[in-house]
Amino acid sequence: MAAPFPPQGNQQQHTERPLKIYAEQYLAGQPLPIGTITESLDPFYADSRPHVITADGVFELHETDWVISSRYTGQPIEVISAEEYAERFGPSE
C-alpha cells in the first residue's frame, strides 16, 4: 500500500473527534422519535404512516429503525436500520 501524500503548503494533520449524535429507535406502541411525522401532507403518506423528512429526502419508518439527529440542532439527519446501527455504533442498550 502506498504511503499517503505528505501535507502541502501550511496543511497540518488533525484528528477528528468521534461524531456524537442523538439516536432514537422506532418501536410500535412507543412514542414517536423526534422528527417523525404522521401528517398526510404528501399523497404518498395519506394513510398516516410515520416518516421522517431530512435534507436527503423522506424516509418511511419501519419497526426497529433508528432516527439519527444532530446533537447541535436536534434536526433529523438520517434513518438507518437496526443492523446498520449495530454495525456503526455497537449494540443498543
Where are any strands of DSSP class E within 1-93? 21-25, 36-37, 51-54, 57-60, 66-70, 76-80
Q: What is the pLDDT of residue 63?
A: 95
Q: Delimit the domains of the chain by residue range.
A: 21-86
Q: Tens digit of pLDDT per residue, the chain (93 long)?
A: 555 566 667 776 666 667 788 999 999 889 999 999 888 666 666 677 898 989 998 899 999 999 999 988 889 999 999 999 999 888 876
12 three-class SS = coil
Which residue carries 473527534 as its cell? 17
Cβ-contact 82, 66 below 8 angstroms? yes
First-residue to last-residue Cα distance in the chain: 38
